[in-house]
């Protein structure tokens, strides 16, 4: 994997906040949200799963724990977060591959994954980075594979509470509306981009999105289970 030389927004927003990231995720019900995203992805034994922006590895490790017969790769530009992810995988005694890199520059072979997952990462990306990330995801997805995204929504209401109001002061979250994400998915060539579900947390509303890689008219036995 090529080394990540660019700047990036860490999982917790700033390096010094990284020790508080996992408690933050737990407080907002992150494991339950991750499980719902995994259920949405309908994983099957033998599949190859990629999480882009894996951070400290919560979703990557949970996928392998729940589905030991799948191959799981987590990608993130932050070496400090990846160190935490490795320690987490060791504690859970699961084998996952953790790579350093950017979601809009995936150093993986075309059509090499059945599912691509993303949790609480898309709002870190600028608009052009979102576009390029979606094109890269399409490139590495096998025909019939799918992308599943979980993230904060752009809109919020006064009833969502004070913490949600603070979070949505960030321009990255404000610009992360469902309409924008679905439009970018369509623009990248995904089939049937859909808002699958949404729910409230103490930090605002989170949304689940799904989209499919179109199948080729001819099938190939070498592609494995979609």
pLDDT of residue 26: 75
What does the pLDDT average to over 92-119?
98
The pLDDT of residue 164 is 47
Average pLDDT taken over every residue of the chain: 84
Q: What is the pLDDT of residue 153?
A: 74
Percent of the chain with pLDDT over 90: 61
- Domain boundaries defined on the chain: 19-212
Q: Where are the alpha helices (DSSP H) in 1-141?
A: 21-27, 30-41, 58-66, 79-92, 127-140
Nearest to 149 by CA among 184, 112, 101: 184
Check residue 162 and give its pLDDT: 40
pLDDT at 29 over 90: no
**pLDDT tier at 152 (50, 70, 90 boundaries)?**
confident
**CB-neighbour burial class of residue 67 (10 A; exposed 0-12, middle 13-18, buried 19+):** middle
166 has a pLDDT exceeding 70: no
Average pLDDT value for residue range 58-86: 97
- In the prediction, which pLDDT does 14 show? 57
The token pair that represents 199 in the structure block: 């729910």
Q: Which of 3.40.50.720, 3.40.50.150, 3.50.50.60, 3.90.550.10 is the CATH number of 19-212?
A: 3.40.50.150
Residue 124 pLDDT more than 80? yes
The residue that leads in pLDDT, 215 or 220, is: 215
Q: Is the pLDDT of residue 183 over 60?
A: yes
Contacts of 87 (CB under 8 A, 6+ apart): none
CA 203 vs CA 15, 45, 133: distances in Å: 20, 34, 25
pLDDT in tens, 2-23: 444 666 666 655 565 666 667 6
């Amino acid at each position: 994997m090529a080394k990540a030389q660019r700047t990036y927004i860490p999982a917790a927003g700033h390096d010094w906040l990284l020790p508080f990231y996992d408690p933050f995720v737990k407080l907002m019900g992150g494991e339950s949200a991750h499980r719902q995203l995994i259920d949405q992805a309908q994983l099957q034994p033998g599949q190859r799963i990629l999480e882009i922006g894996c951070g400290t590895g919560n979703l990557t490790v949970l996928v392998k724990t729940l589905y030991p017969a799948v191959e799981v790769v987590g990608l993130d530009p932050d070496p400090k977060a990846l160190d935490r992810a490795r320690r987490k995988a060791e504690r859970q005694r699961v084998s996952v591959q953790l790579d350093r890199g950017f979601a809009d520059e995936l150093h993986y072979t075309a059509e090499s994954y059945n599912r691509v997952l993303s949790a609480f990462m898309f709002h870190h990306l600028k608009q052009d980075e979102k576009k390029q990330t979606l094109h890269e995801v399409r490139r590495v997805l096998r025909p019939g594979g799918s992308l599943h995204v979980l993230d904060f929504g752009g809109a919020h209401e006064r009833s969502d509470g004070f913490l949600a109001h603070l979070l949505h002061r960030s321009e990255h979250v404000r610009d992360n509306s469902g309409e924008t994400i679905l439009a970018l998915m369509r623009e990248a060539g995904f089939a049937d981009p859909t808002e699958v579900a949404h729910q409230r947390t103490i930090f605002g509303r989170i949304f689940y999105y799904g989209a499919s890689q179109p199948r080729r008219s001819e099938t190939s036995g070498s592609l494995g289970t979609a």
